[in-house]
Structure 1
Amino acid sequence: MCMLRNFSRNPSLVFTSEKGGKMHKYLDKWLEALHSDEPNVIAALYADDATFLPTMSGDLKRGVSGALEYFQEDFMPSSPRGIIRELVVQEFGEEIVLLAGFYDFSTHDGQLVVEARFTFLAKRMAEDEWKIVHHHSSYKPVSKN
């Protein structure tokens, strides 16, 4: 069964699903790892067999080593800071969760780097341990409206 939850990044959010709240916290953990400026910290959130289509690279990255390579060489040298603008959480049973939405990244001095859209597919590996098994991120197209 697929449960759809739509959240925007707002500190006063009320979650109607316990897992939805946990996954929002997981995405916050991903952002905290990004803000740590330690590529190995964020790469550790990816599964050994993960696939990753990053925003700032045309390559398909694979596994923890691919995530580490991307964050170390292509993304983290600018000390990016991110914020989630919109988040949708879709639950597929107890083991799989899809997170989709929009995030913005800027350099540490506040200069806008990129507005992007994302999808994360996360899999439960243990009771409270989730790993990213797929991550796609691309520049947000300009809206026609």
Structure 2
Amino acid sequence: MFHLLDPEVGFTSAVIKDPQRFVGRTQLISNAMRAVNTTSSLIAVFGKRGVGKSSLMRQIQLIANGDYEIVTRAGLHHLIPERKRRYYTVFYTCDSKIENAEELLLRICTDTDSEDGLLRLVPDRGKELAEFTRSNSNDQSTDLKILK
């Protein structure tokens, strides 16, 4: 089968979403598979600008959603569990508009992005952000109330 590929996709700074265009990072994919299949794990990705963090996270998101193509392509099929897990995922990047934790939390809780937003998981009927306030407690926690 013959496929035409856009040469700009995967060879520019664009995020790579297609597992067939993602290469390398086998150890990171292995670590991600182990984390996704552990009952209490957290995945954090950090690094310099332009090194592929978002592309890696898109592949991890596919794994968490039950798409193991990148795992198979990396020769790590032995890490695919017999009882496959599927998770609901959201995807956010911090940009210049996010200056603190409160702004990040506000974006996470109010973003209506149809592919990546948290609110896409909540039925539209009755969805309303009623209040967003910072509490006066010592731990700098944020109170957020979403009412139906």
Q: TM-score, normalised by structure 2?
A: 0.24
Say which one has the larger Rg: 2
Q: TM-score, normalised by structure 1?
A: 0.24
Structure 1 or 2: more strand by fraction: 1
Structure 1 or 2: more helix by fraction: 2
